[in-house]
Amino acid sequence: MSERKRQKTTTLTKFEQLPNELLLICFDYFDYYYLYETFSSLNQHFKNLIQYRTEIYLNMKLIPNEKFLPFCSQLNQLITTNHNYSLSIRINNNYRFNSIFQDNLFNENFSRIKSLKITNVTVSTLLSIIFDGKTNLCHTLERLSLFDKIGGTFQDIDRLCCDLISSKMKLLKHLDLNFILYSTGDNECEEYVDLEFYGLSIGEKSFSNLETIIIGYIPYDDTFTTSKLSFKRLIKRVLPCMPKLKTLMINSIYFDTPDNYRQEHKVWVSSSTKTNLKLVKIWVDVNANEQRDKEKMEKYLQNYFTNENSTFKTTIKIFFVHS
């Protein structure tokens, strides 16, 4: 073979011959159900890699009904084999939520879940699983996201939110509340949720370990939001209960009356809360009559959260919410 031909020769590498590090990077692009169904039965090498991974990201919605319970049994066995699993599960079905957390076969292993992203589940189910059930997820959850549709009443959601922002959640560091309530009777959704936090009481037992709280979402254009919170409730009820808070993101904040932003709010807010804050992003909900005061509102909030010695990044934006 000539030198020129030899230089043009290339070596083809099969996927299964890749180093484990590269295989694991590729596996990260798969939901765990598809990963397990696709690769675990191909060869022992792939099976071992999947079986001894340290993290599981699983979207329950992707599992066909006829394969749901068999897969849960397989997953339960994997967790039993390797106790180092860090479970992250996205659930959008009340029946499936109950199936894996209430069943005696699964609850011991699934009680070690550290991250949950939940939609289309009732508040009563959440309360029973997180606080009163056999799993007691309040002792293990580090990240929790409630988004889209959650079933229950305003009283139900207020109790849940207050419990989540309290010392009952032993390890919870990240909380994302971006949901809309639907009635469990007729499945009709409310237009938006006004978070009250009536059940919060400032005191040692109410202090949470939260470092990040996100209420609503930060839109890219003028829009409406499904989760709202008044500025007064934020500074009087919520912030004082989160002394370790570092990231605060809220869409949307509103003022109880148009003149509230002009008034000096003589309320107590934990000094440690302000000291620890590293990132603040707040969008303010204003109506048509308040449009002329947009700049003043923005300046007021900037002054409230920052001062000349502040080192953290702050974003305050005013937007119009169409009624």
Instruction: Give the C-alpha distances (Å, rounded to integers) separating 306 from 249, 313, 317.
Output: 15, 9, 15
Q: How far is CA 234 from CA 14, 200, 313, in A?
A: 56, 11, 19
Q: List alpha helices for the chain, DSSP H.
A: 3-8, 20-27, 32-39, 44-51, 65-81, 94-102, 107-110, 123-127, 154-164, 231-233, 271-276, 294-305
139 three-state secondary structure: helix
- The residues facing 181 across adjacent strands are 150
β-sheet bridge partners, residue 177: 146, 215
- Residue 312 and residue 276 in contact, taking contact as beta carbons nearer than 8 Å: no
Q: Are 181 and 146 in contact (CB under 8 A)?
A: no
259 CB-contact burial (10 Å; exposed 0-12 / middle 13-18 / buried 19+): exposed
3-state secondary structure of 55: strand
Q: What is the largest CA-CA distance in the chain?
A: 87
In this structure, are strands 143-151 and 121-122 parallel, antiparallel, or unpaired? Answer: parallel
Instruction: Quote the pLDDT of residue 226.
Output: 74
Q: Which of 181, 193, 261 is nearest to 225 (CA)?
A: 193
Neighbouring C-beta atoms of residue 260, cutoff 10 Å:
15
Q: Kindly calculate the radius of gyration of the chain based on its CA atoms and give it in whole angstroms.
A: 24
Mean pLDDT in runs of 10 for the chain (323 residues)? 55 76 84 85 84 73 87 81 71 81 76 84 88 82 88 88 90 91 67 82 73 80 69 86 88 70 52 69 70 72 66 57 36
159: enclosing H helix or E strand: helix 154-164
Look up residue 189 and give its two tokens.
């959704």
CA distance 180 to 191: 7
**How much is the pLDDT for 164?**
92
Whether 59 and 31 have beta carbons less than 8 Å apart is answered as: yes
Tell me, what's the pLDDT at 210?
Answer: 93
b/e for 89-101, b at 16 or more Cβ within 10 A?
Answer: bbbbbbebbbbbb
Proportion of the chain in helix, strand, coil states, percent, rounded to 5: 40, 20, 40
Apex 174 CA angle, 215 and 247, nearest 5: 65
Rounded to whole angstroms, the Cα distance separating 248 from 270 reads 14
